[in-house]
A and B are shown apart, each in its own frame.
Chain A
Amino acid sequence: MTDLPRYDKTMCNGRWARSRGGSLACFPWNVLIATLAGGASLWGAAAAQEPVWRPIGPFGGGAEVVAVDPSQPTRVYTLTKNSFLYRSDNEGQDWTLIRFPAQQGASAHALVINPSNSKEIWIAVSSGNTRVQGIYHTSDGGLTWIHVKGLSGESVFSFALFPKDPAIMAAGARDGVHLSRDGGETWSSISPIENKELQPVMSLAFDPGDDHIIYAGTPHLPWKTDDGGATWHSIHHGMLDDSDILSLIVNPKQPHQLFIGACSGIYRSENSAAQWTKMLGITGAGYRTYSVAQDPSNPNIIFSGTRDGLWKSSDGGHVWKKTSPHIVKSIAISPADPRKIFLATQDNGMLRSVDGGETITEALDGFADHRLNDVAVDGHSLYVTGAQDLQAWRIAADGFHKGHHAWHKMDFPPVLRGRHIAVTTFNSSVYALGAGSIFRSNDQGTAWKRLTPTAVPATQMAVLSDRELIAGSGTAAFHSMDAGLTWKKLAVQPGMGSIEHIFATPGSRNFVVETVSEFLYYQEGAAAPVTIPLPIRPSEVNDLVLTGNALVAATSQGVYRSVDSGATWKLVTKGIDPGTIASIAAGGEAVFAAQYGKVFRSSDSGESWHEISTQGLDESSILRLAVSPAGRLIALTPSRGVFVFDDENQSQTTVGAAAAPNTAARGSKESK
């Protein structure tokens, strides 16, 4: 069933957002609809069985490392830039998140599977947080992890196991190479700390036949030791002098053959790195080579993952062919069937090929790590805009089916392309804010109309009704009563700082303008705005909703609430601790708030709260909350996409049930 637009009294008292809604919007149609439908409240119905959070996408984003399980080649692991670990048991058809201690808090660099015991996995990460960075180890396929002592507190960029004895391992850290010969229990630094050329170590490889021979790649060319680290020497003959070594591999069957991916291209050595030969043929930006892979069954087939896509050579590197345009950070070839190739791409998630890299397809279902920017939902669709890849997606709100193919990329006018876009919806129209203008689409994002002329710059927007809009930029705010045909400059306070945000309530003509220094409350019929004395800095207010007769603010210090039109505010502590509230959303009779690791619900307009389940969120942060017109709670996470607090069966019972605003979009601003 489709979410029906809702027009009700509660909606008028619902979320502050840039939205729209005339007087008809305040008619309690929802009561009539709910009565006729005999529906029950979503939350009442949900009480029988606690819902879980279900990720629905959009999928994709940045993948950093990919590896195939050597003993179970259908199993593939991938690690994202933000250290989210996913596993596929069906060769990449879909992915499942494996909870990893450093997820979201570190940059991932290496994932190595023990060839003798594929339940043993080693992951190297770097981070600004010294408690997070280092090496993590699992012995049970990812169920439990150990932060490896001896290297904790070190940012580790590379990792290698000695193939003949996996108890011998090397880690490339910011201060050089570290070696362990006891399975990671103890570590020793084996590179001279005073040699700044030999650090940080971004890539590592053992000679397959001699654990005393180790190759290390740094931003300052490659290095080699033949004596277990006692002495090191630079191995750059034949390379461009200013070469940042990004990857390094040794042919396991012919250890004298090495390949290096560098910022200056791909190099090959046939004499154990004594001399390098640059492999020509890759054009454009393809010389910045992030990864190199060699077909284990045919050494002449070489893949190069570059900033200009995936390149393939079938003749040992003489002739190259580009087979994918996406930036490839890591390549994994199935040991069981070398035609099956998995690619970790910087912006396009996981890709795969089943024909030796000739054709590349997406392998995205369940995989996500892209920074999203905004979410809006109405009765027909849910809209998401991305901050990282500057894209926007739409999914039908008919149950929010999981699956990458349920999402549709949205197209925007040329001026909006490549820009951060904020979205909001009202009465099935979707509004986009970007490039200093407000646009509206009445066909779910296919055709767009610009609503603000050049004279009305808009970096903030609020939609009060179908025809009433607020635009703000700098220290000026504009008001349109005719759907953007004409605009009138609003009265402002003398000395008012630049506008940071506009919080509006769908169906209400009142709205709040947040400036860099204060909050201004514009009330219907008032000649000028009044200052709201919120007891914290405006920059620390993340959200603001009007529910019932209360103003409820989500701030960096907690939930603040006012029941006298903002004249006085009180920090709410009943059922919710002080602490940053990332987002707040009102829907029907309920208000929801997201705090670090927790989600709360209030049934009394924010006066008291109780925690609800976060099962399924897998410790993902919540960037924004929204409530669909059908009363379904939605969470936008910074990296993992949208989660729906529901299950598919329950969605059938929610339509026309709960009183909820007809839009869930927050007040939106254009991100620069």
Chain B
Amino acid sequence: MKLPKPLAHTASKTAFLALVAISLAPAQNSDFSPAKFDVDLDAGAQLFMRRDDPLQSKILNAKLFGMHVTENLWSHWSLEQSFSGSSLADLTLVNPVGSGFSSRVDLEQHVFKIGFNPVYHFTPNGSRVRPFVTFGLTEEIFAAASEGKTYAAALVPSAPFKSDYKAAFNYGGGVKVRFTERLGLRMDVRGYWGGEPTWGLPPVGSTPSGVLYMPAKGSLLGVDMTAGIVFSFGGGPRAPKPQPRPEPQPEPAKPVATPRTFELSAVQCNPSSGYPGDVFNCTTTLTDSANASSDKITWNVDGSDQSATGAQIQLSNLAVGAHTVKASATDTAATNETANAAPATVTVNELPPLTVTDNAANGNIKFGDTDALSAQASGPSRCDPITYTWSTNIGSIRGSGPNVTFDSSSVEFDAANVFKSETRTATITLTVSDKCGRSVTATPIQIIITKDAKAMRLDDLIYGKGSSRVNNCAKRILLDELQALMNNNPDVEVVFVGHTDENESTRGAKGRPTHLDRERVYNAAAVLTAGTGVCGKADLSRIKVSYAGTTQTSDFRSGFCGTSSRAKSDERKADEIAADDAAAKNRRVEIWIVPKGVAMPAGAPNPVDAPANIVKAKGCPH
């Protein structure tokens, strides 16, 4: 069969453009299951190029039938075996050499080809469209047909026309298009370059005239254009690809097949944003048309599985930042089917800071005084109320809230130095906390508390009317109280201030003038210092004295001895003091203990040293 030149030319161009278009088409992956091997049956045309020789020999075009078997070894690479055979394709010698020949001789033959090719596909196995290129080896079999042999033998008996075999390279490409898992089309254009067959005919110039000659040997080029049907076999699992859920297959046992619905709604969180410490409620809804009783919902926050297993979860103590909340449902029955909900995001924002400042109104106070403390705290209103916690290392805090009072009355000072000026520093710490569980400590406040040195006064010594005798109760004050204080505080001075009542006589024994205020002081000093008998042995040089006479500048200080209501007794009648003796409080000696640098008592601004000669002369008074 001969194809007209324009038609062949047009077919070649069309095939080429189709090949290019298909090759440039975007790859579509995973359209079908990958095939292990393809088998295609095809048909087309076989073209050989004209030989440019004096004989104008050529092989006429012919129809072509064949098949390809392709093993898809890898996703893109395959091995192909091809088999094809042509219809009768005449070897035409337009100008045969030798006498007796007409101007044209046609020798009929079939051309068979067996090829072996590696093939590269531009798209992966399983794609709907698979353009490919190939290059391989072909064994070309030019099988002389019986008519050709007969005709040649008739023309030149000495030069039989017989079959010939030539190896050739083949090259070309095409495209496979699958329509179903098993069926598709294939178009193929294949060129050949191989040796030129001679069919047993002698070459031109080497044989005598009258013999059918073949042109000089050279190469033979040819082209096959085929199209056919492709059958794909041995397909594996299809590559994953989002596909519409296949309709569940109705169970054959059920007369009416109902599709199962098993899905979770998107997670909803309320609120979706908040602050540390907030509680976030997240929910989802499970829809299951089948085994709802065996379904289980699980939660995951930021990749961490949660213990909650219901349609709702409460999230608390989330850190600042964004958190992803996921839910999934599993049918714990045999199917173990799962459904995932669209996740939600919970955002925890950072709270505005809690701050506090504090201060003391004075910062430097006297022992026993108070100082006002105040604080200002600020924070987000959602964390109200703010709690104020005050503490101090010494002293005490009165009140609560932002404004309190520091009370120094309980501050302890060195008990060994009760008569010395002393200061201590109170360090006050304020911690504020809010409802959000935050707390902050303010800068400590320091308050300096000064205890001034001051004079101490003991209970007064009481005397009987007209008497300067130191009674036993007074001796207890002098010997057991005052002397101990003097021992413990060697830097203090003792001041005795003597008093008389205005109704007491100024005349003593035998009518001699007497000064009871002085005598009372002298006797008190002697009891304290004489060092003999029951008397103490205090240092007389530490004692100063003052005589107030009937002046009662200071109040009477009762206390330890008070007054006595003892019945009158002969034993100590001069010292008896009646409870109703209103003047007893005027017959007294004040006792002052005065530290260094402290002002003397108001009633004795300028005391003098106790007169040693007089006091010592008294010995230890009874």
Contact = CB atoms under 8 A, between A and B. Distances in A.
A621 B415 contact: yes
Interface string B48-73: 00000000000000000000000000
A220 B473 CA distance: 8
B485 to A, nearest CB: 10
Contact of B572 (A128, A240, A672): A240
Nearest to A596: B414
Contacts of B476: 219, 244, 263
A414 to B, nearest CB: 15
B437 interface: no
B465 to A, nearest CB: 15
Contacts of A104: 415-416
B383 interface: no
Nearest to A623: B416
A647 interface: no
A243 B423 contact: no
A578 B448 contact: yes
B473 A578 contact: no
Nearest to A244: B472
B246 to A, nearest CB: 82
A556 B413 CA distance: 12
A371 interface: yes
Contacts of A81: 484
A9 interface: no
Interface in A537-576: 537, 539-540, 556-558
A461 B425 CA distance: 34
A411 interface: no
A516 B597 contact: yes
Interface residues of A, number: 58
Interface in A616-656: 621, 623, 637-639
A580 B424 contact: yes
A578 to B, nearest CB: 5
Contact of A556 (B420, B488, B532, B534): B420
B448 A196 contact: no
Nearest to B409: A131
Contact of A577 (B446, B488, B532, B567): B446
A257 B587 CA distance: 39
A419 B415 CA distance: 25
A578 B426 CA distance: 10
A263 B472 contact: yes
Given A128-B456, A219-B560, A264-B472, A579 B424 contact: yes
Contacts of B549: none
B487 A371 contact: yes
A577 B571 CA distance: 61
Given A373-B490, A596-B413, A196 B563 contact: yes
B147 interface: no
A383 to B, nearest CB: 17
A6 interface: no
Interface in B203-262: none
A556 B422 contact: yes
A274 interface: no
Contacts of B4: none
A107 interface: yes
Interface stretch (B89-97, B184-192, B263-271, B537-545): B537-545
Contact of A621 (B414, B471, B597): B414
Nearest to B558: A196
A280 interface: no
Given A241-B566, A539-B597, A596-B422, A284 B533 contact: yes
A556 B473 contact: no
B566 A578 contact: no
A418 B417 CA distance: 23
A307 B423 contact: no
Interface centre among B416, B484, B535, B575 (most CB of A within 10 A): B416
Contact of A263 (B423, B475, B488): B475
Would you call the interface of chain A mostly helix, strand, loop, or mixed? loop
A285 interface: yes
A579 B475 contact: no
Contacts of A308: 534
In this complex, the interface size class of chain B, counting residues with CB under 8 Å from chain A, is 35 or more
A371 B488 contact: yes
A558 to B, nearest CB: 7
Interface in A571-592: 577-580, 582
B569 interface: yes
A419 B539 contact: yes
A578 B423 contact: yes
A437 to B, nearest CB: 14
B410 interface: yes
A531 interface: no
Would you call the interface of chain B mostly helix, strand, loop, or mixed? loop
Nearest to A243: B472
B12 interface: no
A174 B562 CA distance: 11
B565 interface: yes
A420 interface: yes
A161 B252 CA distance: 102
Contact of A596 (B424, B473, B535, B560): B424
Given A219-B561, A244-B472, A558-B423, A418 B537 contact: yes
Contacts of A672: 493, 539, 541-542
Given A219-B476, A244-B472, A582 B487 contact: no
B452 to A, nearest CB: 9
B414 A580 contact: yes
A547 to B, nearest CB: 23
A288 interface: yes
A520 interface: no
Contacts of B448: 557, 578-579
Given A104-B415, A556-B422, A580-B414, A285 B571 contact: no
A241 B596 CA distance: 40
B487 to A, nearest CB: 4
B416 A621 contact: yes
B301 interface: no
Contacts of A243: 472
Contacts of A284: 533
A671 interface: yes
A556 B416 contact: no
Contacts of A296: none
Interface centre among A129, A221, A556 (most CB of B within 10 A): A556
B440 interface: no
Nearest to B476: A244
B421 interface: yes
A582 B423 CA distance: 11
B562 to A, nearest CB: 4
Given A196-B562, A219-B473, A419-B539, A539 B596 contact: yes
B416 A638 contact: yes
A441 interface: no
A104 B414 CA distance: 9
Contact of A388 (B450, B488, B561, B571): B488
B564 interface: yes
A322 to B, nearest CB: 15
Interface in A91-129: 104-105, 107, 128-129
Interface string B611-622: 000000000100
A285 B533 contact: yes
A444 interface: no
Contacts of A623: 416
Contacts of A199: 562
Interface of B: 410, 413-418, 420-425, 427, 446, 448, 450, 453, 456, 471-473, 475-476, 484, 487-491, 493, 532-535, 537, 539, 541-542, 559-567, 569, 571-572, 575-576, 579, 596-597, 620
Given A62-B487, A621-B414, 12 more contacts: A82-B488, A128-B418, A196-B564, A197-B565, A241-B571, A242-B472, A263-B472, A420-B490, A540-B597, A579-B423, A580-B424, A639-B416
12 contacts: A241-B566, A242-B572, A387-B487, A388-B487, A388-B488, A418-B537, A556-B423, A579-B424, A596-B413, A596-B422, A638-B488, A672-B541
